[in-house]
Chains A and B, each alone.
Chain A
């Protein structure tokens, strides 16, 4: 029996080719994701290992609450420089050096733009003179010696044409630009830089000055005398340390950094990519089911003959499943290979310089092959079960009855799954609990499965409606296209459903982004009173900028907004501070209770209604703010404002925040045009004022709106690109179904050709069938996507998504695209249909 199924596999290899492609695409996505993240992880691993090679022990302050995780690990409190003496005095210490390493030194490239842009972070650090300990290895030039010397990492230097002796403007945290001379180029550990991040190295004195490091080190790096192990030395140092500091061995530090990096990468890259890989496989499984269904249908007589000759049901089932397993296995192997290529391509896009090769773990291979094979076999189970139901008598009957009525059981099952999906979705979206994400994911899955099961019911009505103009425009070809699309509703439905999934997800995300866009626009219109908004591409900026604007006679109401993290009831929240006297002239907050001016009283805050609801905070209540700098302040709630997409969280006066966070800088500065000054003049003045601060962006309200919109557009584009795999698979599915249908209808096409149908009419017939299937997918996809999008956007009301918007233009675009997909999918099937040899087709078997 297995021999029979393998032989049949070989004879159908062409028909299976597209199934194989579906599996290959899905598996390659999975494998590519693993390889990508493994490679990035191992890059970091080797960086951390080599960078820490000479470090026996690292000393630093306790972790700053709420900053755990991230690449390289969370931030620690700094330690005073005086601690260096303490550490140096510990017996067994060979040398100890202070290490300053912080974000906030932005290099300005030859084009006047910040290097790195929105990419990897940029760090400033002190040059460490002890070359045993230092992770920095000079490649050319000399270490920094003077106050205006800088050494840059080799990766950044190569990418941006920085050379020894060149001059380099650098903008520091406050947004102030200073000019430096490049004295050297250095590598980090054994690589060019820290996985793409930019590093600028200064003398210790300069680093302390420009990086806010006065008398503080981020850590102290210690080397051991020979004969003293790291572990022993760590223990000795730990004994000597005051309570605010802790010590770990170089290996521990590297391991901790690695672990944190790994989980960060898996959260931000691995998991999202795997979600999209799963979607591709899910869509691919539709294609697999359809292919095997059609193959089983076409082999009905053969299978019936086998049954008549004494094959058991189990043997028939096994024969189909073995075929699936072999197909899945071969395709998975190929998919693994393609995954390697994808990972390579992505790595070069991510611009990872340090990579010498890619990391292939056995796990990747095993998971890829298992997933591909199992998905294929599971998808083939339904067709295999159908194959077992073929009666031996079917071998003898002349024409095969096509059973097309959807069994009630299936309708009921579809309805149940659909309703359960909706319920899970609503539960996930509108209640908060530990399985929210699982509920939402399961909800989407349920909705898609349910609609797919019910879709055959929609085929006839929808195909009739879509088919009508086709019939009018394309005569016989159009008529037959419509009839062909309807003749096997389950096959058409399953084919269209695969496209539905991709389109529904794109539509859902489009609705979401448009809702965010409209809500933000409304918030900008309704909440932002200021004519101008100034913000930075860096973390925050010096109050000097606001000072400069305040001096400009063409501007008025220049208002600083400062943001700082605080711990409130154990969770890290960002609180904003603003000048109460200016609040009313730059922002309009709609108040649920109390008044915005309440923040004029020291230690009084207003909070948005969502946060208040979630935290159970009410008017007049006292809330404890734990500032990371150490102070604890009890703040009274003086007002609650309606949540919106622009302003959220706790707001206090600058006077309340200032004493706790004296170094706080500005996050946003708002301003109005001075009375009598046209907005054009005011804007020109503003742009002129911020020119001295290269990282600052100054915009009018409408420019800001466009800016926010552009960000949303690129988000939508990113998601659409990631869903392209799923959509490509669905389009392949249409091509596959059509190709198999054409094969099945060879005789019919021969008769039509004999009756005078031209080749181009034949092509047209197949092409329009394809378009009808795609449009059916589009109708389902847009409808389901709209539903999902509206529900999901509706659930985000509390996050300030107050408007649910439907992007009509996008939807029309998607429907048109689906039509084009139909035409593309039909290319090969139309060629095959037009090539049908009339004589061979009508010759009786």
Chain B
């Protein structure tokens, strides 16, 4: 049975588990004067450790903006973001880079991989960038669950879109970050490749205790998450624990657009 709280008020992680990332009164404005857009309009939200959270909402509701701000790719106009205990607003560019390198993993919608590197090199790339040696056991595990096996030596353009996204997911996992951000990771995949990828992410959360925050449009994708946060016009309007495709679709319809 899905729990749903309704709109407006601040929302926190619904159980007592430790918090991986949170925002307080997050506001993001683009442009100035008449052309000003308020992409985030005072968002206070927290995401628990070891949880698979999804963010949903109509196009233009601020999902990507929120994700970018939490991940340290963009800065808030006001309010604060924490990853673990670290407040991102006080970090300079280099410190943000280090934070992304040490604590964060990413899966983008497409063009995730560096075309000149093999799948395996792409997977260990964040470690290479950080000048760290991969933990062989952890790496072997990650590689195993991607199911890529013999294709690890291939370049990205020799892999299917689904395989590429799994390499991107494996890359995000390989550095064992505190939290993985995924912006519509299944956006370019067909339903079976999507299911493969989502199962993979689900497994990472359930079996490895990974924390994932995923933006998606797809109720089927959201159904793989533990919790869904709904945005509209830059605000949190609703959230749901233990979502299913049907309940998510309901809320989405309700939000209308």
Hey, which bits of chain A sit against chain B, CB under 8 A?
399, 401-402, 475-476, 479-480, 483-484, 486-487, 747-748, 751-759, 761, 838-839, 842, 844
- Is B253 among interface residues, defined by CB-CB distance under 8 A? no
- Is B106 among interface residues, defined by CB-CB distance under 8 A? yes
Given contacts A401-B157, A756-B126, A838-B73, 13 further A-B contacts (CB under 8 A): A399-B157, A475-B129, A475-B131, A479-B121, A751-B106, A751-B111, A751-B114, A756-B100, A758-B98, A759-B94, A759-B97, A844-B109, A844-B110
A204 to B130, CA, bound (A): 89
Secondary structure dominating the interface of A: helix
B125 and A487 contact, CB distance less than 8 A: no
B157 and A486 contact, CB distance less than 8 A: no
The chain A residue with its CB closest to the CB of B65 is: A839
B125 and A755 contact, CB distance less than 8 A: yes
A569 to B66, CA, bound (A): 95
B114 and A748 contact, CB distance less than 8 A: yes
| Binary CB contact string for chain B from 95 to 107 against chain A (1 if under 8 A, 0 otherwise) | 0011011101010
List the A side residues contacting B100 at CB < 8 Å: 754-756
A423 to B101, CA, bound (A): 57
A251 to B157, CA, bound (A): 78
A634 to B157, CA, bound (A): 84
A–B pairs, 22, beta carbons within 8 Å = A476-B125, A480-B117, A483-B116, A484-B116, A487-B116, A748-B114, A751-B112, A751-B113, A752-B129, A754-B71, A754-B108, A755-B100, A755-B101, A755-B125, A756-B97, A756-B101, A756-B104, A757-B129, A759-B93, A759-B97, A842-B108, A842-B111
B129 and A487 contact, CB distance less than 8 A: no
B129 and A761 contact, CB distance less than 8 A: yes
List the B side residues contacting A486 at CB < 8 Å: 116
Looking at the assembled complex, report how far the CB atom of A487 sits from the nearest CB atom of chain B, in whole angstroms.
5
Looking at the assembled complex, report how far the CB atom of B143 sits from the nearest CB atom of chain A, in whole angstroms.
18
A319 to B129, CA, bound (A): 43
| Binary CB contact string for chain B from 130 to 142 against chain A (1 if under 8 A, 0 otherwise) | 1100000000000
- Give the residue of A479, A758, A842 whose beta carbon is less than 8 angstroms from that of B97: A758
List the B side residues contacting A758 at CB < 8 Å: 94, 97-98
Question: Known: A486-B116, A487-B116, A748-B114. Is A476-B129 also a contact (CB below 8 A)?
Answer: yes
A759 to B131, CA, bound (A): 15
- Give the residue of A475, A480, A839, A842 whose beta carbon is less than 8 angstroms from that of B114: A480
B101 and A483 contact, CB distance less than 8 A: no
A493 to B192, CA, bound (A): 43
Chain B contributes a number of interface residues (CB within 8 A of A) equal to 32
The chain A residue with its CB closest to the CB of B109 is: A844
| Binary CB contact string for chain B from 147 to 187 against chain A (1 if under 8 A, 0 otherwise) | 00000000001000000000000010000000000000000
List the B side residues contacting A475 at CB < 8 Å: 128-129, 131
B108 and A751 contact, CB distance less than 8 A: yes
Question: Known: A399-B157, A475-B131. Is A755-B106 also a contact (CB below 8 A)?
Answer: yes
List the B side residues contacting A480 at CB < 8 Å: 114, 116-117
The chain A residue with its CB closest to the CB of B93 is: A759
Looking at the assembled complex, report how far the CB atom of A737 sits from the nearest CB atom of chain B, in whole angstroms.
16
Looking at the assembled complex, report how far the CB atom of A297 sits from the nearest CB atom of chain B, in whole angstroms.
14
The chain A residue with its CB closest to the CB of B99 is: A756
A475 to B112, CA, bound (A): 20
- Is B115 among interface residues, defined by CB-CB distance under 8 A? yes
- Is B38 among interface residues, defined by CB-CB distance under 8 A? no
A475 to B127, CA, bound (A): 10
Looking at the assembled complex, report how far the CB atom of B162 sits from the nearest CB atom of chain A, in whole angstroms.
14
Looking at the assembled complex, report how far the CB atom of B144 sits from the nearest CB atom of chain A, in whole angstroms.
22
Hey, which bits of chain B sit against chain A, CB under 8 A?
68, 71, 73-74, 93-94, 97-98, 100-102, 104, 106, 108-117, 121, 125-126, 128-131, 157, 171
A479 to B124, CA, bound (A): 12
- The 6 lowest CB-CB distance pairs between A and B, nearest first, are A756-B101, A483-B116, A476-B128, A476-B129, A756-B100, A755-B126
- Give the residue of A483, A756, A761, A838 whose beta carbon is less than 8 angstroms from that of B117: A483
B97 and A839 contact, CB distance less than 8 A: no
A756 to B95, CA, bound (A): 10
List the B side residues contacting A402 at CB < 8 Å: 157
List the A side residues contacting B93 at CB < 8 Å: 759
B74 and A839 contact, CB distance less than 8 A: yes
A480 to B115, CA, bound (A): 10
A128 to B112, CA, bound (A): 89
The chain A residue with its CB closest to the CB of B124 is: A476
List the A side residues contacting B114 at CB < 8 Å: 480, 483, 748, 751-752
Question: Known: A479-B128, A844-B110. Is A753-B97 also a contact (CB below 8 A)?
Answer: yes
A751 to B181, CA, bound (A): 13
The chain A residue with its CB closest to the CB of B156 is: A399
List the A side residues contacting B130 at CB < 8 Å: 756
Looking at the assembled complex, report how far the CB atom of B118 sits from the nearest CB atom of chain A, in whole angstroms.
10
List the A side residues contacting B102 at CB < 8 Å: 756
Question: Known: A761-B129, A839-B73. Is A756-B98 also a contact (CB below 8 A)?
Answer: yes
The chain A residue with its CB closest to the CB of B181 is: A754
A479 to B125, CA, bound (A): 10
Looking at the assembled complex, report how far the CB atom of A754 sits from the nearest CB atom of chain B, in whole angstroms.
5
Looking at the assembled complex, report how far the CB atom of B97 sits from the nearest CB atom of chain A, in whole angstroms.
5
The chain B residue with its CB closest to the CB of A761 is: B129
A402 to B115, CA, bound (A): 11
A483 to B122, CA, bound (A): 13
List the B side residues contacting A756 at CB < 8 Å: 97-98, 100-102, 104, 126, 129-130
A458 to B93, CA, bound (A): 40
A345 to B51, CA, bound (A): 73
The chain A residue with its CB closest to the CB of B101 is: A756
List the A side residues contacting B98 at CB < 8 Å: 756, 758
List the A side residues contacting B117 at CB < 8 Å: 479-480, 483
- Give the residue of A401, A484, A747, A753 whose beta carbon is less than 8 angstroms from that of B111: A747
B126 and A748 contact, CB distance less than 8 A: no
A658 to B115, CA, bound (A): 83
List the B side residues contacting A753 at CB < 8 Å: 97
A743 to B104, CA, bound (A): 26
A756 to B101, CA, bound (A): 4
Looking at the assembled complex, report how far the CB atom of A463 sits from the nearest CB atom of chain B, in whole angstroms.
12
Looking at the assembled complex, report how far the CB atom of A396 sits from the nearest CB atom of chain B, in whole angstroms.
15
List the B side residues contacting A838 at CB < 8 Å: 73
A654 to B109, CA, bound (A): 94
Looking at the assembled complex, report how far the CB atom of A607 sits from the nearest CB atom of chain B, in whole angstroms.
66
The chain B residue with its CB closest to the CB of A475 is: B131
Question: Known: A751-B111, A754-B100, A758-B97. Is A839-B125 also a contact (CB below 8 A)?
Answer: no
A480 to B121, CA, bound (A): 10
Looking at the assembled complex, report how far the CB atom of A483 sits from the nearest CB atom of chain B, in whole angstroms.
4
Looking at the assembled complex, report how far the CB atom of A229 sits from the nearest CB atom of chain B, in whole angstroms.
83
A484 to B117, CA, bound (A): 10
A41 to B19, CA, bound (A): 85
List the B side residues contacting A487 at CB < 8 Å: 115-116
The chain A residue with its CB closest to the CB of B118 is: A483
B109 and A748 contact, CB distance less than 8 A: no
B128 and A748 contact, CB distance less than 8 A: no
A748 to B102, CA, bound (A): 20
The chain B residue with its CB closest to the CB of A479 is: B128
The chain A residue with its CB closest to the CB of B113 is: A751
A402 to B158, CA, bound (A): 12
Looking at the assembled complex, report how far the CB atom of A60 sits from the nearest CB atom of chain B, in whole angstroms.
76
Question: Known: A476-B129, A487-B116. Is A748-B111 also a contact (CB below 8 A)?
Answer: yes
A16 to B101, CA, bound (A): 36
The chain A residue with its CB closest to the CB of B125 is: A755
The chain A residue with its CB closest to the CB of B157 is: A399
Looking at the assembled complex, report how far the CB atom of A724 sits from the nearest CB atom of chain B, in whole angstroms.
34
List the A side residues contacting B111 at CB < 8 Å: 747-748, 751, 842, 844
List the A side residues contacting B109 at CB < 8 Å: 844
List the B side residues contacting A748 at CB < 8 Å: 111, 114-115
A644 to B169, CA, bound (A): 74
Looking at the assembled complex, report how far the CB atom of B117 sits from the nearest CB atom of chain A, in whole angstroms.
6
A399 to B130, CA, bound (A): 29
A748 to B71, CA, bound (A): 18
Looking at the assembled complex, report how far the CB atom of B60 sits from the nearest CB atom of chain A, in whole angstroms.
14
